[in-house]
Amino acid sequence: MTQELWTAVDRYIDAHLLSEDVALDAALAASDAAGLPSISITPNQGKLLELLVRIHGARSILEMGTLGAYSTIWLARALPAGGELITLEANPRYAEVAVANIASAGLAEIVQLRQGAALDTLPELHAEGAGPFDLIFIDADKQNYPGYLEWSLRLSRPGTLIIGDNVVRGGAILDPNSSDGIVQGGRRFYEMLAAEPRVSATAIQTVGAKGHDGFALALVSGRPST
Ligand code: SAH
Ligand code: DHB
Ligand code: MG
């Protein structure tokens, strides 16, 4: 009942506030057809990301965890002319689907996908002098969120907004004794945010079509060390 209600309210929000969108629908359809898991952000969450990019005036975005590029398309479209997005995806099959979806959405010039484990590609980006990024969306494997936060800080400047998806996981985050690497990684992520003097952070719980979860928002306020 509860999940049905959350899903129905998501549908109500979408029907009222979101427009039909051929490119986003096509990206989801192609991802489904290719057998990718249905774990993208929801449409109204995509709209939230779009608004955050615009509110922040972000011109450069780094994303970890592309899947079929559904969130990527929302983020990239919110960029102004000349904006850039780099997205990191480990799974070569997902990356192939994502690259096709990005091209179909007309975003090939704006979005660069790097295929490989993000803990390998992040140091490469750093060594190449990429960044600092204006906005960073962390949404790859949850057990590595602590490492992703460290790299995000290295690729940040004062004013960078770091957004982390899936930081509640139906409340699983509450269990200090969990043997699940996803929960441990999530809890460590909170501890690091709390201990990090260079960020000001909160998390917001969400319910909706994807259940009970949440986003962390962290604003970088000090100069990260290298
Ligand atoms: N951001 C997407 C959903 C991402 S799902 C959206 O909302 O549309 C998480 C993704 O992280 C999956 O595609 C998975 O393959 C990828 N992933 C898992 N481990 C990874 C790693 N070590 N490095 C980069 N990507 C990884
Ligand atoms: C799941 C959800 C996500 O948003 C994600 O990034 C990865 C996995 C899930 O529900 O399994
Ligand atoms: Mg996610």
Residue in the block written with tokens 């899947």: 67
Which DSSP letter does residue 163 get? E
Ligand 2 and 39: CB distance under 6 A: yes
Residue 81 CB-half CA count within 13 A:
0
Smallest CA-to-CA distance from 204 within 212, 195, 196 is with 212
Which residue lies with its CA nearest to atom 7 of ligand 1? Answer: 40
pLDDT of the chain, 226 residues: tens digit per residue:
699 999 999 999 999 999 999 999 999 999 999 999 999 999 999 999 999 999 999 999 999 999 999 999 999 999 999 999 999 999 999 999 999 999 999 999 999 999 999 999 999 999 999 999 999 999 999 999 999 999 999 999 999 999 999 999 999 999 999 999 999 999 999 999 999 999 999 999 999 999 999 999 999 997 654 4
Whether 167 contacts 189, CB under 8 Å = yes
Residue 152 CB-half CA count within 13 A:
35
How far apart, in whole angstroms, are the C-alpha atoms of residue 23 and residue 151? Answer: 31
CA of 202 to the centre of ligand 3 (A): 17
| Residues lying with their CB under 5 A of ligand 3, a single-atom ion | 139, 165-166
Number of H helices, E strands in the chain: 8, 7
